[in-house]
Amino acid sequence: MATIAKKIKKRVIFILFGFTAMFLFLTVKLFFIQIINGPDYQQKAMEQWTRDVPVPSRRGIIYDRNGKELVTNAPAYQIYVRPVEVSDKEGTASILGNILGMDKDALVEKLSAKKDTILIKQKVDSEIINELRAMELKGLIYIDESKRFYTQSNFASHVLGFTNYDNQGQDGVEATFEKYLNGFPGRDIKMTDTYGRELPGSDRKYYEPQDGLNLVLTIDEVIQHFTEKAIENALQENNAKTTMAIVMDPKTGDILSMAVKPDYDNNNPRKIPEDFADNWGTMSLKEQYDALFKIWRNPIISDNYEPGSTFKVITSAAGLEEGVVKPDDKFYCSGYAEVAGHKLKCWRYYKPHGSETFVEGVQNSCNPVFIEVAQRLGREKFYKYIKGFGLGNITNIKLLGEAAGIVRNVSSIGPVELANIAFGQGISLTPIQLITAASAIVNDGYLMEPRIAKKLIDKDGNIIHDFKPRMVRQVISKDTSYTMRNILESVVNNGSGAGAYIPGYKVGGKTGTAQKAEGGRYVQGRYVSSFLAFAPANDPKVVVLVVIDEPSAGSYYGGVIASPVVKSILFDTLRYLDVKPQYTEEEAEMLMKEKIIVPEVRNIKLKEAKKLLSQNKLRYRLEEEQGEPTEDSIIIDQTPRADSKVDEGTIVILYAKPKE
C-alpha cells in the first residue's frame, strides 16, 4: 500500500508541476500577446474590422488674370474589386478588358489576388462607369475622384504643365504651385464584418477632404491666343524648328502671354511624338522619356542662345548711363573694327555705313559702333550693367528648369571677347532674361521680377495670398530710359525695325539675327532670328519678344521674318487693351488714301525692283547679303512681303546679293 501511495503522490506532484508549468507558460504567452505584442495584434484586428477609404481632395482650379478657367477638374472614378466576391473571374476579366482596354490575363491575376480590395484602374470616365454599373458585375467598387482637365487642350501648354495619374503636378505651374493646388485628402473609416458590410451601431468617422487653393495667373487668355496664333503661322511660314514669344507688362513684370510652338496636349502629354511613332516600341524607357521631355521643355526659360543684335540695347543703355556716348556722337564704319589684331566685321562689310551718329548706328545695327561703346566702357563697367540687368542669374520666374545663361567671368574677358559681347556674340541668355532686361530699359530703369502668378484664392474667391510685383533694382536712370525709348522708336520709324511700324502707335524695337554656335564654332545656315519691341514708346504698356529658331524657308533676317510676328501681336494686344491710337498729321493723311499693294520683287534684278517699286509709289532701302551690290544684283528677300497693304511712300527694305 505504501508503494501505491508513493506512486500516486508522485503522479499528483507531476501533474501539479505540469499544470503549474503550463499555467506559467500561458501567463507568459498572454503577457507577450496582450502587453508586449498587444498593439500589433490590435492593429491587425482593426485592419480586419475597419475599412479606411481615402476621399480625394479637389485640386485647385487655374484661372487667367480675368477669371477665365484654364484648368479644371472633370468627373472621373477609381475602380476597385473585392476578389472574394467575384465568382466568374474569367468572364469578369474578359468584360473589364474589353471595356477598359486592359490585358485580360493581368485582370485575372488581380481578380484572384489574396487581398480584401485591389485597384483595377484610375481616372475612368463617368460614361464607362455607367456602362459597368448597368451590367451589375459583382465585387466592383466605384470611388468618386476627379481628373485634371485642360479646357483648351494645348493652350499655354508650357506654362500650365500637367499632372500624373495621382493628380500631382509634373511641370509648369502645376508643379511649381503643387503644395497650394493639391489640398489634403479626407478619410472615410467604418467598422465592417467579414463580408465588408458596415456593422450596425458602429462608430463611423468621416474626415472631410481639404480642397486645394485656386491659382490666378498673370496670363491673359486673349493675349495668349493672339500670341499663339502669330507664332504658329510663323512656324509654318518659315519652316522653323521652334518659334516662341513672350508678352510682358514692363511696369509690373507680369507675363501676359508665353507661347512655344510646337507644343503638346496637356490632356494627353504622354502621347507618342510623331517623329518617333515608327520606332517607339524599340526605344528604351530612357529614350522614350528623353523624347517626351524635349516636347515638355520650355525653351523660353530653359534654353540659352546668343541674342545677336537684340543685345545691343544692353550695350546702348550702359554706354548712355555711364556718359561714354551721347545720341549725337559721331562714329565711322569702315566695314570692320580692328581689335587686338582681329578684324571684326560689320554686317555691311562690303558697303560700310561710313559716317554716322550713335542714333544712326543703332538704327543701322552697326557692329563697329557698339564695339567702340564697349571699349569706352571697359570690361568692369560693362559687366556692372550686364549683371545689373540680371544676366548670368535666374530671373526667379516660378517655372521649373530655369537656366541662368552663360556669362563668362569678367577676369577672362579680353579685348576681342569684350568686342564680341558688345554686339551679342560670346554671351548666352534665355528669352525670359532678355525681355526682363529690355523691360527695365523702357521702364525708367526699374528691373522687375517676372511674375507668372497673381494670387491664390479659396473656393469663395477670398484672397489667401497675393503675389505682388517685386522690383529687383533700378539699373539705369529715368533720363537714360527716356533716351533709349526715343532711340529704339527711331529704329522702327527709320531703321531696320520698319517691319513693326504701326500707324497711330509709337513702337520701339530692335532686330536680331544670330548665327548658331555648335562645338565652339558658328554653323553655316543655322540662325536664330528675333525681334524685340515695345509700345507705346512714350508710355510702354507691353514689351514683346519673338524668337524664331532655325528658319529654313529662305529668309532668316529678324527684321524680315520676326518683325511681322511682333507687329501682329502688338497691334492685336494694343487694341484689346484699349490703347487709343494717336495719329500724326502725316499718318492721318495716309489713312485717307488708298493703300498700296507691295509688289513681288524677289528673284529679280535690283534695277527692275527699283523701277517696279517706283511705279507703285514706294521707296526702297538696300541691304546687301554679301559683296558689293550692282544694278544686276538679285533681290533675295524683301520687307514688307509681297501683297502687303501699305501707305504710299512706304520704304521697302531689299536684301540683295551679286548676280552669280
Q: How far apart are CA 433 and CA 426, in angstroms?
A: 16
Q: Which residues contact 276 (CB under 8 A, 6 or more apart)?
A: 283, 288, 291
Contact 400, 174 (CB under 8 A): no
CA-nearest of 130, 208, 214 to 180 is: 214
How far is the C-alpha of 435 from the C-alpha of 247, rounded, in Å? 9
Q: How many CB atoms lie within 10 A of CB 199?
A: 13
State the helix-helix crossing angle for 126-135 and 89-100, rounded to 10 degrees.
150
Q: Say if CB 568 and CB 230 are below 8 A apart.
A: yes
Name the grid cell of 281.
516600341
Quick one: 101 exposed, middle or buried, by C-beta within 10 A (0-12, 13-18, 19+)?
exposed
Give the integer Cα–Cα distance in Å for 187 and 210: 11
147/72 Cα distance (integer angstroms): 9
- Told to judge if 309 belongs to the known catalytic residues of this protein, a careful annotator would answer yes
CB 174 within 8 A of CB 71: yes
Please answer whether residues 579 and 552 qualify as being in contact, where contact means their C-beta atoms are separated by less than 8 angstroms: no
Write the burial class of residue 233 (CB in 10 Å: 0-12 exposed, 13-18 middle, 19+ buried).
Answer: middle
Provide the 8-state DSSP code for 103: -
C-alpha cell at position 138: 459583382
| Catalytic residue selected from 57, 157, 309, 365 | 309
Q: DSSP string spanning 125-143?
A: -HHHHHHHHHHT-TTEEEE
147 sits in which H/E element: strand 140-150
Contacts of 548 (CB under 8 A, 6+ apart): 234, 238, 240, 242, 243, 528, 529, 530, 558, 561, 562, 565
The residues that are catalytic are: 309
